[in-house]
Each structure stands twice: as structure tokens, then as C-alpha cells.
Amino acid sequence: MSNFTPELLAPAGSLDKLIIAVLYGANAVYLGGQKYGLRQAAENFTDQELEEGVSFAHANGAKVFVVLNSFFHDKDFDSLNIFLKKLDDYGVDAVIVSDPGVIKYISENSQLEIHLSTQASCLNVEAAKLWKKLGVTRVVLGRETSIKDAALIKKEAGLEVEMFIHGSMCMAYSGHCVISNYTQGRDSNRGGCAHSCRFEYSFDDKDLESKKSYFMSSKDLEGIRLLQDFVDFEIDSLKVEGRMKSHLYAGTISKVYREALDYYDENGDFHSDNMKHWESELRKITHRAYTQASLVEPASDDSIYDEREHEDSLYTSIGTIRDVNKDAGFLLVEVKSFFNTGDTLEVLPFKGEPFEIVASNITSVSGKELTKTKPGTLVKIPYSPFATRWNLLRKRNLQ
């Protein structure tokens, strides 16, 4: 048994999701500020939220990494120094960067630790050595790297390696694609990717059978069955994709991978029955068919999700418990998807098995009785002694 446990790094698309990911077990989170990131459609953090997020994460033993992984034009450098100073002041643990010019600028103008973004497509020892010379301490490897190759890069280049273990993928070398630029006028490498590869396309060639297909859409990555390899090869950080995904996604992924890594710490293995349980939990969140992509062997046509545009989900994210009031006998729920009086909901605790509660009556914050809730509102449902603030609620979809 190895004494090594990788860091679990979760996406934080908003302050709420940061809190949820940390409380459900992430060791670190990554997020974007208002500029310089590659998820311009995500909520992203204001300066105040960033400061609050770092302080919450640190108080709970977690780290915060901030993405600055857009490719810069000269004018983008204008206010960079001011932003770096703020990140330093807030105590951000590292910045994630792709552009060599930005890496040089940061290493010359701040004390911030620099992680190389997956966007730089580092896949080999020589490239990693070069990035290290520029001041990078950790490389987020391209998704085309196997776990075995990652271990070699770590050993030979002498820096930390981070690998994606879960989430959506890009059919190009992480973002090096301009379909979105040309079809939607949105620049993939400046945070505007419209996920054009997920759409249905047809061949316009008289020699080819005219067939519509989703041939550019990739399945989702799932590496839970390879956890033993990640541990044995001492991969420093396991990264989950998904800053634009739901609160339920952030919480479920953090909980499942945390439980698996903690189980290993205590028992020295991942036990096959537990593995089945963790996999079944991962199938309850929105996802496409899963693949291990290139984690063991280079990805093949088996990684193409040639079915449809949308993702599948066994459960709907109902909302988050924002307050628990034992004396007044209610749970205050921030509603994400509607539910009705009498519905059975599942509470996802930070640790342990999910449990059911019944929304036998629902009232608005002003005390009005409701038969149905609306997304974006706060409602009260009956108190449960086992539910905690920030627990997530989900509901099984009718099959």
C-alpha cells in the first residue's frame, strides 16, 4: 500500500459551488475571475467573492487556484498587474496559465505560484522541463497523456503533475480549435467556446453517404476505475472538469472521489463493491457515456459520443439547503428545479449515504402555502434532523 494520496481538485463556477465542493471533500478548487479565463459564460468571481472564497477554502483546509489561461493580446496585459496584486493579497495558492508571455510576466512581477494550464498541451518531458525553467511548478497535462507517461514527466522533469480524472472533454487538443470562432463568432481560446463539436453535422460530399452524425462529440471522461494507478504512479492532483456544471455535479463528484480516496487511505484498496457504488453515484449526475479516453491507451473511436447533443441524468438537481431551523421546524431550500408538495427528495449528506425526505408541505418565506415551487426562489419544507446547511437535494427522474 502506498502512503501517497493525490489532491482532489474540483471546479468552482461560483462562490456557492466553491463552498459545496469544499464541504463535500475537495482538497482544492479552481475558479475564474471576471477576466482572463476560458469560461466567459460561467458566472465567474467578482473580487469580493474571490476574497471570500479563498478565506472560506483556507478555513476549511482547501487551496484555491485561479485560471488566467486565455491566450493574451498585448492590450490584455494593461491591467494584469493590478489583478495579480489582488490575487497575492487574497492569498490565492496558484494561478493556472497557458500563454508563455503571461508566465514570464507573472514570474517577474509577483510571487504567485504558476501552474501550466492543460491549454498549453504539455505531453512530454522536454516540454515540461522548458516550462519549469520559465517558473512553472506544476503542469496540468494535456488529456492526451497516459497516467504512465505523466509519472515519467513528473520524475524526469521534477515538477508536480495534474491530470483530468473526470468530466467533459474537447475533441481538439484542449481548446486548439476554431469551429466555434467560425460558426458562432466565439473564440475558444478567449473563453467563448460554444461547444460546436457537440452539434449534429452531415457530410456534403457526393462520394460519401449523406448521413447526419455527432461524429465530433466526445464521451465524458471517468477515471474512477483507474484510481489505483493514479495512486501507484503518484499523480499529484486529480482534476475534475466542469466549472459551468450544476451545484449537484460539484457536490456529487467531490463526495464520490473523496470517499474513494479516504477509503483507500484507511484500507489500502478501493474494494470492488465500493467501486460499483461510487460508479452508480457518478451515473446519477448529468453526463454523456463515459470513457477512460487516453488515461491508459490513446483514445480511439470508442471515445466518440455519436448519439445526440444532450447529456443524460438519472436525477434532477432540486436545490441547496440554505438554512436549517429546528425550532421553527423547517429547512430553507434555494430551488434550482421545481418540485411539488408530496414529492420525495433525496438529501446528499457531506459524508455517508443519501437519505429521503418528503416535501409534505411547502411554504414561501412569507408563509404562503405552495403546491409547486419555482426555480430561483427560497421555500421552506419540513425539518429533518440529519440535513445540514449546504446539503444538496436531488430527485429521481421518472424513467
| Site for ligand SF4, rule CB under 6 A | 170-172, 175, 177, 179-180, 188, 193, 195-197
Compare residues 22 and 169 and give the one whose CB is closer to ligand SF4. 169
Q: Which residues neighbour 368 within 8 Å (Cβ) at sequence distance 6 or greater?
A: none
CB of 38 to ligand SF4, least distance (A): 9
CB of 142 to ligand SF4, least distance (A): 13
Considering only CA atoms, which of 124, 146, 127, 145 is closest in space to residue 136?
A: 127
Question: 208 with 229: CB under 8 angstroms?
Answer: no
What Cα–Cα distance (Å) separates residue 364 from each residue in 307, 337, 379?
A: 41, 15, 5
CB of 291 to ligand SF4, least distance (A): 15
CB of 262 to ligand SF4, least distance (A): 32
CB of 136 to ligand SF4, least distance (A): 23
CA distance 220 to 290: 5
Compare residues 201 and 383 and give the one whose CB is closer to ligand SF4. 201
C-alpha cell at 309: 447533443
Q: What are phi and psi of 331, to 5 degrees?
A: -110, 130
CB of 318 to ligand SF4, least distance (A): 29
Compare residues 62 and 293 and give the one whose CB is closer to ligand SF4. 293
CB of 177 to ligand SF4, least distance (A): 3
CB of 306 to ligand SF4, least distance (A): 14
CA distance 351 to 214: 38
Angle at 135 between CA 130 and CA 136, to 5 degrees: 75
Residue pointed to by grid coordinates 432540486: 318
Compare residues 19 and 197 and give the one whose CB is closer to ligand SF4. 197
Alpha helices in 196-348 (DSSP H): 227-232, 247-267, 272-282
Sheet holding 362-364, edge to edge: 355-358, 344-348, 392-396, 315-325, 330-335, 378-382, 362-364, 369-370
Q: Give 324-387 as a DSSP string.
A: EETTTTEEEEEESS--BTT-EEEEE-SSS--EEEE---EEETT--EESB--TT-EEEEE--TT-
Compare residues 58 and 195 and give the one whose CB is closer to ligand SF4. 195
The residue type at 224 = I
Compare residues 147 and 197 and give the one whose CB is closer to ligand SF4. 197
Considering only CA atoms, which of 316, 306, 364 is closest in space to residue 336?
A: 316
Question: 269 with 37: CB under 8 angstroms?
Answer: no
Compare residues 192 and 382 and give the one whose CB is closer to ligand SF4. 192
Compare residues 80 and 170 and give the one whose CB is closer to ligand SF4. 170
Compare residues 170 and 321 and give the one whose CB is closer to ligand SF4. 170
CB of 350 to ligand SF4, least distance (A): 32
